[in-house]
Amino acid sequence: MRLITVAGPPSSGKTAIICKTAEALQADGVSVGVIKFDCLSSGDQVLYERRGIPARTGLSGNLCPDHFYVSNIEECLDWGLQSNFDLLISESAGLCNRCAPHIKDVCAVCVIDNLSGVETPRKIGPMLKMADIVVITKGDIVSQAEREVFVHRIRQVNSSAVIIHVNGLTGQGGHELGRLLRDAAAVDSLQGKLLRFSMPAALCSYCLGQRRIGADFQMGNVKKMELG
């Protein structure tokens, strides 16, 4: 199974582009499941299921959702493996701009929208800087000049990523993104894999800078989700 971590600021269009891409993939016979991580509430699971995409939600409550994510992603991977998906996508909103769910050797996507302003690429941390693929949304409502400046600003902070425009409403570009995701590396276990960047602040072992994944490395305030 291939695992993809999708992150991006709130309302940047993550769910929209995952839906469009999953539809394009499903049309080619690729099965896709999604795990959504959020803080307090999320209606995304319903949006996915309505389109026939199996989904689960993890709510972190008072923890940083990315910290919560890393304590649960192994179990999520198991869920995906048991469900026999070809592709498992995790969606998480980057709330603190400092933590990123991206894992070394696991395909990392950052979704960012043209409306958020040209300064935004500079404000987003490792979630953007360490992504393999940067998806830009909402190009349908800004000028060509703004789209080009925005791409340039993203290039300044991530010189190697593939940058791709996807329209979350019409799905234009979703097919093309799907091609990239199909080529992502297969992952059968996350045991011992490293986060691409450490997560600061202090509640659990990951707050203290731990980067290794696995039950042995989780200490302190660790919450587990119900996957059913």
Partner 1 sequence: MESTYADMTLDQLFGEHPHAREFFSALGLSSLPEGQTLGRTVAALDEELLLDVGIERQDLLGQFCDYMAGIERLRNQQQALVSSVTVLGGRDKSGNPENFRLELRPGEVTCIVGPTGSGKSRFLADIEWLAQGDSPTGRTVLINGAAPDLARRYAVEQKLVAQLSQNMNFVMDLSAEEFIRLHAESRMVADPAAITATILELANSLAGEQFTPVTPVTALSGGQSRALMIADVACLSSSPIVLIDEIENAGIDRKRALSLLADQDKIVLMSTHDPILALMGQQRLIFKNGGVSSIRSTSPAERANLTLFEEMDARLTAVRHALRNGEEIAGEF
Burial class (CB in 10 A: 0-12, 13-18, 19+), 43: exposed
- Considering the complex, state which of residue 200 and residue 220 has its C-beta at the smaller distance from partner 1: 200
Strands (E), 46-129: 55-59, 87-93, 107-113
For the bound state, the minimum distance from the C-beta of residue 190 to ligand GTP, rounded and expressed in Å, comes to 23
Residue 37, token pair as written in the block: 């991580």
**Which x/- pattern over 76-95 shows residues binding ligand GTP (rule: CB under 6 A)?**
-----------------x--
CB-CB contact of 225 with 75 (8 Å): yes
**By CB under 8 A, residue 163 contacts partner 1:** yes
CB-CB contact of 68 with 40 (8 Å): no
**By CB under 5 A, residue 44 contacts Mg ion:** yes
Residue 106, token pair as written in the block: 């696991």
- Considering the complex, state which of residue 80 and residue 121 has its C-beta at the smaller distance from partner 1: 121
Residue 16, contacted partner among Mg ion, ligand GTP, partner 1, none, CB below 5-8 A by kind: ligand GTP
**Binding to ligand GTP in span 92-151, by CB under 6 A:** 93, 137-138, 140-141
Q: How many residues bind ligand GTP (CB under 6 A)?
A: 17
Contact region with Zn ion (CB under 5 A), list: 131-139, 161-169, 201-209, 210-218: 201-209
**By CB under 6 A, residue 169 contacts ligand GTP:** yes
- Considering the complex, state which of residue 6 and residue 124 has its C-beta at the smaller distance from partner 1: 124
For the bound state, the minimum distance from the C-beta of residue 5 to Mg ion, rounded and expressed in Å, comes to 14
**Pairwise CA distance, residues 60 & 32, whole Å:** 23
Between β-strands 87-93 and 32-38, what pairing exists: parallel, antiparallel or unpaired?
Answer: parallel
- Within 8 A by CB and 6+ apart from 31, the residues are 84, 85, 86, 87
Q: Which residue is at the shortest CB distance from Zn ion?
A: 67
Q: Which of 62, 4, 75 is nearest to 33 (CA)?
A: 4
- DSSP state letter for 218: -
Residue 102, token pair as written in the block: 């991206």
**Which x/- pattern over 155-194 shows residues binding Mg ion (rule: CB under 5 A)?**
----------------------------------------
**Binding to Zn ion in span 63-92, by CB under 5 A:** 64, 66-67
